[in-house]
Structure 1
């Protein structure tokens, strides 16, 4: 099941800069029904890699209107927000005259005009709206099935969700291939890149206009593609040494020499799907460990006690390591892990022979490799 099920999807209602516009001054004006006099409005630049924010401009509303000016680099990911309001409007800024019109209580639905790339984005949103609506409905159904404890229904919904996701990804790929001069393209691709499409996305990246390649989303996309190519099935796994719960060093290379196959299991005590999968992994470990199956649990925890308590509570008797850095884990970064649970099955020489096997898929693979021994 895709990682975004049950998560609030990021609404790509943004203004994307024209690939041919020059960096420099911008003017952002707007009129929002219900915007109170005296309310502060802000344009905040967001770094899509580390989440850091810098205020580019601010002003005070009057008669439902505002005006902001400043300097941007084309492709800057920004957010327009209003004082005391939680909702905001994502915008990719450019050196241009840009306008916002809408209702302050429905700020994400505001109409943004001022660039050709905005037209591109609107076209993309129209193409994918049906998929988003279908997945929203499935999300709601999944929540109800989970409350009812209906595992069969949950699995059925997950399969449907993945099928819709596959169709949406095809639409995204086709759109991207025909819009290689727009900043919208790398932003869309970096949100969807994975093992199944990294090679094709790399070809699209190569066709980007030079200005587009310089944008932050394009640089993030290239970085992600490079990581995925290094952690693909058939590649050598990256070796590392990390601290165990007891505070001693344990190297992956050392562990590889103690069995025929080793599974890197990226998880965390706070990860519900990880904890739900643990009983299955315990059974498989008990069945195949004597035949040469090892596991190295790599935790994305940040609380040492919660990490250790979860290991004990779930009876995870294999080796464990963590740098307790949450999503900033250097080991997760080495393997391009952006969602958990995530697994990498390595042979005795450290070659990756399978990825993200869980449940029945993991059981079948282990039966194939070790069942006859």
Structure 2
């Protein structure tokens, strides 16, 4: 084979490989004026929310076009001024029609992932558990807005609503697993699996996530949601290697998780403004006192934004272990990387840096840690 022929084949193969994860959006906008700016942004998990990828184009002759690279089955936010719509699109082509300037009537064709997303959403919104939850949530909100309300009735309705939400989270997990079983090659799958587990860890267990994710075809795991699922499985599930981090302590000294390698470490997420955290602190303090002579330490991560409030709470609650914070509230770097959405929360790390337990309840914290840490 001649050198020119070989070079041509290599270039052709590279072009084919390059085009396999590109997306071309052909759009129609019959009511938009020429020059109207349209933005499209790839939606990312919380860890990457600050790293935006925005492409822009302009309407010309009531048409527009986007050519997007590195699409492996993603979802996007398309915006015009302050209005937006979500698009779930796989590599290849997509035809998008914007029937109005408010993005209330948007249709997508010629893209299977968009069709499959509509099919899945239709299953969810017609699910009996979802409909029951939606009704009781509406009833609760309506009652809460009344000028004359009975606090006991409101509390009882809130409990019913929360119970139905928990039931729906489990039902949503079931719907996701059933969808993946019936549509194993859908580009939607990694996002659905990520979203279900992220929404509620009770909806799909860690073991189920690992099993389902491992069975997925490689090509549908290469999007950002598949990558983030792998990160969570490898780094945040029980058995995973806890991600290292570094933050300042109360004196401004930078402390790393790896500084405690060789010890059991309870990473305790809390904040001075979090009442359940403050209520749990006596139990954590008791653990610190009774396990002081064992190969164990506690590392507090505060989601405070004011240093004076943080320091005052440490003193008031008598917390005598290492405390760290970047004073960025819910943007705390460690909480973001550890997927902490609610506090109090905790991770137990073994001497080798592996996660061996998560979110240990304060009622059983001491007995659980005594059993694990000899």
For 1:122, the equivalent position in structure 2 comes to 118
Partners in 2 of 1:352 and 1:54 — Cα distance? 33
Q: 1:175 aligns with which of 166, 174, 179?
A: 179
Call closer, same or farther: CA 1:44–1:264 in 2, change over 3 Å: closer
Partners in 1 of 2:362 and 2:23 — Cα distance? 55
Q: Which has the higher contact order (CA 8 A, sep 6+)?
A: 1
1:292 offset after TM fit, Å? 3.5
For 1:43, the equivalent position in structure 2 comes to 40
2:57 aligned counterpart, secondary structure: strand
Task: Give the number of the structure whose alpha-carbon radius of gyration is greater.
Answer: 2
Partners in 2 of 1:369 and 1:25 — Cα distance? 51
* Mean CA deviation greater in 193-202 or 147-156: 147-156
Contact 2:77-2:84 at 8 Å conserved across structures = no
Partners in 2 of 1:206 and 1:54 — Cα distance? 28
Superposition RMSD in Å: 4.2
Contact 1:42-1:80 at 8 Å conserved across structures = yes
Q: Deviations over 1:28-73 (max 9, x none)?
A: 213466x4665322233444451333343411366xx432242433
Partners in 1 of 2:60 and 2:333 — Cα distance? 44
For 2:268, the equivalent position in structure 1 comes to 265
Partners in 1 of 2:144 and 2:220 — Cα distance? 43
1:175 offset after TM fit, Å? 0.9
Q: Deviations over 1:212-249 (max 9, x none)?
A: 232222222222222233xx1x7786777753212346
Contact 1:46-1:78 at 8 Å conserved across structures = yes
Contact 1:72-1:93 at 8 Å conserved across structures = no
Q: Deviations over 1:103-160 (max 9, x none)?
A: 44353x5222221222221221111113555545555566666995865654443232
2:363 aligned counterpart, secondary structure: helix
- Structure 1 gap ranges (5+): 1-20
Q: 1:243 aligns with which of 228, 239, 248?
A: 248
1:171 offset after TM fit, Å? 0.9
User: May I ask how many residue pairs the two structures share in their alignment?
Assistant: 332
Contact 1:145-1:153 at 8 Å conserved across structures = no
Partners in 2 of 1:262 and 1:145 — Cα distance? 43
For 1:12, the equivalent position in structure 2 comes to none
TM-score of the two chains, using structure 2 as the length reference: 0.70
Partners in 1 of 2:305 and 2:256 — Cα distance? 20
Matched, 1:164 2:164: no
Contact 2:197-2:205 at 8 Å conserved across structures = yes
Matched, 1:204 2:212: yes
1:340 offset after TM fit, Å? 2.5
1:207 offset after TM fit, Å? 3.0
Contact 1:98-1:113 at 8 Å conserved across structures = yes
2:76 aligned counterpart, secondary structure: strand
* Mean CA deviation greater in 168-177 or 209-218: 209-218
Contact 1:180-1:208 at 8 Å conserved across structures = yes
Call closer, same or farther: CA 1:87–1:156 in 2, change over 3 Å: same
Partners in 2 of 1:54 and 1:368 — Cα distance? 45
For 1:363, the equivalent position in structure 2 comes to 363
For 2:15, the equivalent position in structure 1 comes to none
Matched, 1:304 2:307: yes
TM-score of the two chains, using structure 1 as the length reference: 0.70
Call closer, same or farther: CA 1:297–1:223 in 2, change over 3 Å: same
1:302 offset after TM fit, Å? 5.1
Contact 2:88-2:114 at 8 Å conserved across structures = no
For 1:4, the equivalent position in structure 2 comes to none
- Structure 2 gap ranges (5+): 1-18
1:363 aligned counterpart, secondary structure: coil
